[in-house]
Structure 1
Amino acid sequence: MSSTWNAVVPRWPAAVPGPDFAAIRAEFDVPEDFPPAVLAEAERLAADPPMPDDDATDLPLVTLDPPGSRDLDQAVHLAREDGGYRVSYAIADVGAVVAPGSALDAEARRRGQTVYAPDRRTPLHPPVLSEGAASLLPGEDRAAALWTIRLDADGGVRSVDLRRARVRSRAQLAYPDVQAQADAGTLSGALELLPELGRLLRARAADRGAVELGSPDQEVVRTDGGGWTLVARAPLPVEGWNAEISLLTGRAAARLMLDGGVGVLRTLPQARPEDVGRLRRLAPALGVDWPADAGAGAVLAGLDLADPRHLAFLEEATALLRGAAYTPFDGDPPADPGHAGVAAPYAHVTAPLRRLVDRFGTEVCLALAAGREPDPAVRAALPELPALMTASDRRTRAVERAVVDATEAWLLAGREGEEFDAVVVDADDDRGTVVLADPAIRARCAGAGLAAGARVRVRLAEADVARRTVRFTVAA
C-alpha cells in the first residue's frame, strides 16, 4: 500500500473553533449516560461476575487491537497440530452477565452498538463491564465463549468445538507493534503463525470468490498540538490477517446455526451481473487488468492504490457490495444464506462487547454446540434483531459521516479560493467526487473535463462549518 495513504498531515489553520463532536452525537440521538438502574445492575455483576467451571486459563491467549483499546472482545492462540493448525479463539462471554429481559439488555437493545467518535466512545454496555469485568484484559480471569477450530494444512476446517470456559489473556498487543514484529520476522508465541495462517485463509477466501474492497478510510485524529486533522489510512496487513481469524469463526458459527436450524446470519446478495459487467467494461479505461477467467475479488485484491486510476476503480466497485442484512431464521434456512463478501454463510459472533447481535448469535451457538435448544428468550429475540441493528447501523454511519464532514469543513474554513491537487474518483456530467492528497479530504467538485482516475487541480469554492459542506471547482 502506498505510504501516501498513511501519512499524517499537519493541522491547517482554521478560522473557527474545532468541530463540535458532542453536538453531532446529540443531533443523531446517540445515547450518552446510562440510566441509574443499568449502572446499578452493571456494578453488581462486575463485583461478582459469573464464572464457568471449565478452566482454560493454561491456554496462553493474547489480545490484538488498536492501541489504547479497553473493550477487548477477542483473545487468540494459534498452534500447529496434526499437520495443520489449531485456532483457539476466546470471545468475551457477555451473555453470562447480560440476561434477556434485564435492564442491561433493554439498554443494549436501545443502543445497538458502540459508537466511536474522535473525542470519546459511546459504549454498548457500561464501562465497568465493557472495559472492565467482561473485557479480556491481560492477567485477569474472564468468562469466555471458547472456540477451538482445527484446520488441515490447506486451511480447510476439520472440526469445531465451542464451550464456555474461564480464560486468562497473557498480553494486550497492538496492531502497529505486531506488524513491526511480523516485518522483522520476530513474531513468537500465540501469534507466531498469524502471518502464515492469515495469508492462507485469505488465499482460500479468494479461491471461493470473496470480495474485499480494502479502501483507505478517512480518520479524524488528534494532533500533537491538541487539534484535529484527517488522515487516509489503509489497514495494516496484520489487521487483515487478524480479521481472517474472526471471519473463520463467523463462518463456523453460521454452519452451526444452519445445521441446527436456528440463528441469525449476516447476509449479502451476490453482485448483480450488470454491476459486474459495468465494472469489467470500465477496467481498461482505468488501467486495471481483468483476465477473462478472473473474478471481481481477485481483480480488486491486485489493485495498486498508489495509482489514482485504481483508486477510482475501487470507488466504482462499491456497487458490488450492496444489500447487507441480518437474516434470522427458526426452522427452514434462508433461501440465500450466503454473504457475497465472505463467499460463504457468515454470522456476527466475535464482538459482543461492541455489537448487540453478537451476544445473541453466540448464545445460539453455545446451545447448539452443547446439543440443546437455545434459551426461549434468546430465540424470541432473533426476529427483533434486524430492525434494531439496521437502526443502529444507520445512526453509526450518520455520525461517522458527520464527524468527517465537520472536520473537513473546519480544516478548510477560510481557505476559499486556494487550489489543491486532487484525484477524481467518480464523475458524471461535469460533476464528481475528488480526493485531495493533502489534507486527506473527499468532496464534491464541479467543472468540465472531470474523468474518473484523472489527476486534477481544484479550487476550494466553499467550506461551510455550520452546514458541514465542502465544495470544489476545477481550477482554470
Structure 2
Amino acid sequence: MPRHIVHMSDAAAAALRAALKQLRKELEVPPDFPAPVLAAADAAAAAPRLPDEDATHLPFFTIDPPASKDLDQAMYLERRPGGGFRVHYAIADVAAFVTPGGALDAEAHERVETLYFPDGKVPLHPPAISEGAASLLPDRTVPALLWRHDLDADGRVTHSRVGRALVRSRARLDYAGVQQAIDAGTAEEPVALLRDIGTLREAVEVARGGISVSLPDQEVTLEEGSFRLSYRAALPVEGWNEQISLMTGMAAARMMLDSGTGILRTQKTAEPAVVTRVRAIARVLGIDWPHHVSYADLVRRLDPQDQKHAAFLSEATAMLLKAEYTAFRDHRVPEHTVHAAIAAPYAHCTAPLRRLIDRYTGELCVAACAGQAPPDWVLTALYGLPCDMLRGKGAKADRRSVDLAEAAVLMNRVGQVFEAAVINTDEEANRPREGLLHLADPAVLGRVKAEAALKLGETVRATLRRANPGHPGENKVLFTVP
C-alpha cells in the first residue's frame, strides 16, 4: 500500500495540537518507553554483538528526509568489470542490540512499528537504538546486514547474498540534494549510478508486470488564520531509491523460499467484481481506462500531481491491493507466494528500525546464505508474526492524519455547498445512502450521507455539515445530500 504522508508547518501543528493529541488517544498510541526498556536500550547501545567481517572501507551513503535520524539503509554503488553493476546495501542490524525475550524485544512486539503523525513520530525502538547506536548515521562504525547484489547491464539481478559486517557511512544525503546533483551532473559516480540502476530496475519492473504507486505528500500550512492544503509529488530519486529496496525484498523472498523457511508479504489479484467497481471509480473521475489496458499499465500513465488521479490511486489501491504476511517452515511452502503489485515473491526486510518483522526476515536470510538453520528465537516467533503485524497501527495513523488535515482545511466552511462526485458507495455493506465524495477544490475526500440511495459516478451538491479535526472516530469530515 502506498503511504499518503501529511506534513504540517510549525504554526499549523501548534494550532492543531489538541486535535493531534486526541488522535493519539483514539489510536491508543503507546506512551513513553518504560524506564526498564530505556535502561536496556542504553546497555545494548554500549555493548552490541559485533560481526567479524569489516566492510568499513566501502564509502556508504544514506538518502533520507533531512530531519530523519533512524536511518535503516545505506548504499554504495559501483560498476562491475566487464559490465553490469554491484549494489552494496547495508541494513541496520537491530538483532545486534535486541536480546530475544528481553525488555527491548517485548516492547517491540507490543509496538510492532513506528507510527508517523504530522507533528512527530512514535518509534518502535528507544532513540538510543533507533536514532543512535543502530542507526546508519555518518562517520560511525556500526553492525549491519550487508547485502551484495550483482546486476547485469540490463539491471537484472544475477546473484544476491547477505551477511553481517561492520560498515561506516561517509555521507548523509537528502532526496532534494541528490536529485539536484544528479540533474546538474555534479554527483559523484556512486551517487549518479542510482539513476542508472534505478531506471533499469523500473524497466525490469514494467517487463515483470509490477506496479509502483507514489502518492503526493500533503502539506498543511496556516496562513492568515486559515489552513491551506498543498501537495508535493515524489522526486524521481525517491523511486530509484525504492527500487533498491524492492530488489532486496525480492531477493530475500527467493532466499527464504529456497531454504524452505520464511515469511513473505503476499497479495492476491483482486476479484473481478472489485476490478469492475474500481473501473467505475475511474470513469467517475474522468480517467480513461480501456478494457485492454491492465491496472499496472494504467497506473504508469497517471500523474499523482493531478488530484483526480491521486484520488483514484488512493481509493483504488485501498480496494485492490490488500496484502498480508504468510509464514512457512520445513519446506511446507504455501500455494500462493506472490505479491500481485510487485509481480514476484517479496518480503519486508529493509526497515528493521521501523518495522518489527524485518528483524526476523533479515535473520532468516543471513541463515539461508550461511547454509545454517535459523535461530530458535526466530522459529519460535515465526507463525505468530503475521498476527503481531496485524496489530500495527501505521496505516490507520496515516489515514487518520489525512482525515485530520482535510478537516482542518474545511473547518471554516461548514454550511457551504460544494459540487462533488460520488466516487464510492457503501452499498455492499447495505448502506446505499452513504459513501465517499471527491471535491475538486479543495481537493479532498469526504464521507457523505444522503436521503436517497447514492449512485456511483453522479455529481451532487453536498452541504458540509462537519469539519472538525478533533472529532472522535474516522469521520472528521461529513457532507449531506438532500
**What do residues 329-371 of structure 1 show as CA deviations (whole Å, max 9, x unaligned)?**
0021111011011110001110000000000100111111111
Following the alignment from structure 1 to structure 2, what is the Cα–Cα distance between the partners of residues 48 and 6? 36
Structure 2 matches for 1:391-410, cutoff 5 A?
A: 391-392=391-392, 395-410=393-408
Displacement, 1:198? 1.3
Q: Secondary structure at the match of 1:91?
A: strand
Q: Secondary structure at the match of 1:338?
A: coil
Structure 2 matches for 1:194-213, cutoff 5 A?
A: 194-213=194-213
Contact 2:6 2:218 in 1 (8 A): no
The match for 1:467 is 471
Contact 1:310 1:453 in 2 (8 A): no
Contact 2:7 2:217 in 1 (8 A): no
- Does the C-alpha gap of structure 1 residues 88 and 116 become closer, same or farther in structure 2, counting only changes over 3 Å? same
Contact 1:54 1:164 in 2 (8 A): yes
Q: Greater CA deviation, 175-184 or 128-137?
A: 175-184
The match for 2:346 is 346
The match for 1:69 is 68
Q: Greater CA deviation, 339-348 or 281-290?
A: 281-290
Give the alignment's TM-score, normalised by structure 2: 0.86
Following the alignment from structure 2 to structure 1, what is the Cα–Cα distance between the partners of residues 62 and 7? 26
Give the aligned length: 467
Structure 2 matches for 1:316-465, cutoff 5 A?
A: 317-318=316-317, 321-331=320-330, 332-392=332-392, 395-418=393-416, 425-426=423-424, 432-436=435-439, 439=442, 441-445=444-448, 459-465=463-469
Residue 443 of structure 1 aligns to which amino acid in structure 2?
G
Displacement, 1:212? 3.2
Q: Greater CA deviation, 272-281 or 225-234?
A: 225-234
The match for 1:250 is 249
Following the alignment from structure 1 to structure 2, what is the Cα–Cα distance between the partners of residues 176 and 453? 38
Residue 209 of structure 1 aligns to which amino acid in structure 2?
G
Following the alignment from structure 1 to structure 2, what is the Cα–Cα distance between the partners of residues 466 and 279? 31
Following the alignment from structure 1 to structure 2, what is the Cα–Cα distance between the partners of residues 10 and 450? 37
Residue 44 of structure 2 aligns to which amino acid in structure 1?
L
Residue 335 of structure 1 aligns to which amino acid in structure 2?
E
Contact 2:8 2:221 in 1 (8 A): no
**1:121 aligned to 2:129?**
no
Residue 119 of structure 1 aligns to which amino acid in structure 2?
D
Percent identical: 48
Residue 372 of structure 1 aligns to which amino acid in structure 2?
Q
Following the alignment from structure 1 to structure 2, what is the Cα–Cα distance between the partners of residues 121 and 13? 17
Contact 1:321 1:340 in 2 (8 A): no
Contact 1:315 1:426 in 2 (8 A): no
The match for 2:109 is 109
Q: Greater CA deviation, 42-51 or 325-334?
A: 42-51
Q: Secondary structure at the match of 2:407?
A: helix
Residue 157 of structure 1 aligns to which amino acid in structure 2?
V
Contact 2:7 2:118 in 1 (8 A): no
- Does the C-alpha gap of structure 1 residues 40 and 199 become closer, same or farther in structure 2, counting only changes over 3 Å? same
Residue 86 of structure 1 aligns to which amino acid in structure 2?
R
Displacement, 1:194? 1.4
Give the alignment's TM-score, normalised by structure 1: 0.87
Q: Secondary structure at the match of 1:87?
A: strand
**What do residues 16-53 of structure 1 show as CA deviations (whole Å, max 9, x unaligned)?**
86443233223322112112221111111212333222
Following the alignment from structure 1 to structure 2, what is the Cα–Cα distance between the partners of residues 417 and 154? 57
The match for 2:19 is 20
Contact 1:9 1:231 in 2 (8 A): no
Displacement, 1:377? 1.2
Following the alignment from structure 2 to structure 1, what is the Cα–Cα distance between the partners of residues 459 and 179? 32
Following the alignment from structure 2 to structure 1, what is the Cα–Cα distance between the partners of residues 380 and 215? 38
Displacement, 1:398? 2.8
Structure 2 matches for 1:42-61, cutoff 5 A?
A: 42-61=41-60
Displacement, 1:107? 0.6
The match for 2:99 is 99
Following the alignment from structure 2 to structure 1, what is the Cα–Cα distance between the partners of residues 72 and 21? 26
Displacement, 1:154? 1.6
The match for 1:173 is 173
Contact 1:256 1:365 in 2 (8 A): yes
Could you list the runs of 5+ residues in structure 1 that have no partner in the other structure? none
The CA RMSD measured in Å over matched residues stands at 3.4
Contact 1:209 1:295 in 2 (8 A): no
Following the alignment from structure 1 to structure 2, what is the Cα–Cα distance between the partners of residues 435 and 241? 31
- Does the C-alpha gap of structure 1 residues 404 and 313 become closer, same or farther in structure 2, counting only changes over 3 Å? closer
